[in-house]
Structure formats: C-alpha cells, structure tokens
Amino acid sequence: MLMILTGCCANSTATCQNEASDSSGSATIKATSMKSEMACKLTTPELRKRKEEVIEVLKLKILKKVELQNGYRFYFEGTDEILDSLNSFVKTERLCCDFFNFSILVSNDSTAALEITGDEGVKEFIKMELGM
C-alpha cells in the first residue's frame, strides 16, 4: 500500500495529528510524528532473531553499496541462495517496516541487487536500524 503523508508529519518530526491515506484515498491512519511513523514493528526478540538470521547473512554478502537519492542499492552475487535470502528479507521487512519500498533486480551478468528506498529519513533508518 502506498502511503501519502500530508501536513506537518510529511516534512518534520513535530507532533501533529494529521491523517495519511493510501493512493486510492481509502484507509486513513493518524500520524503523530515522522519518528513514530518510521519505526520497526517487531518486538525486541523478533528483531534480534531476524537480524541474526537474515540481515547479518546478507550484510556479509554485499559486494557493493550505492547511495541513491531516496535509499540504497546493494549488489550481491546472483546465486539462487542469495535470491532466496533477498526474498526472505523483503518478506520480513515489508511486514515490520512498511515505510520501505523494495526492488530486487536480477541481471544477466550473474548479479542481483536489492534496492531499499522510501521517504525522507529512510537512508538514516537503514544505517541505524539495519546496519547496512
């Protein structure tokens, strides 16, 4: 679901009670701040387990990291094992960090890339929370 923030929450961390809605104009949510919007929804034990099982494995296999305007692109070998790991990572992250946009790119030169992008603040969140 594409979320569009409006009002002060879209551009600052000030406390406010503006609404966000998906691109179709349905489903609205209350946002109190950008910081509270950009937070992992997993509990501490779940987060630790995910980091150990998926994120740490992927971090060791990154061949190259490219900074994008609104996130990062991470390059990996294009093996079936890596593609399975990337798929597992996206399946987990999309549930707990719904402010990320993901793209898995596979090329004919035996490489794979994972793009993680989003709104303002996503790059800092990737560095701090994912350590990537």
Q: Based on the domain organization, do 54 and 84 belong to the same domain?
A: yes
Task: Return left, alpha or beta for 77; rule: phi > 0 is left, psi -120 to 50 is alpha, else beta.
Answer: beta
Q: pTM higher than 0.75, yes or no? A: no
Together in a domain, 19 and 51:
no
CATH number at residue 112: 3.30.70
At 15, is the secondary structure helix, strand, or coil? coil
Same domain, 23 and 54: no
pLDDT along the chain (132 residues), means of 10: 27 32 33 50 72 83 96 96 92 84 93 95 86 82
Domain region containing 74: 44-130
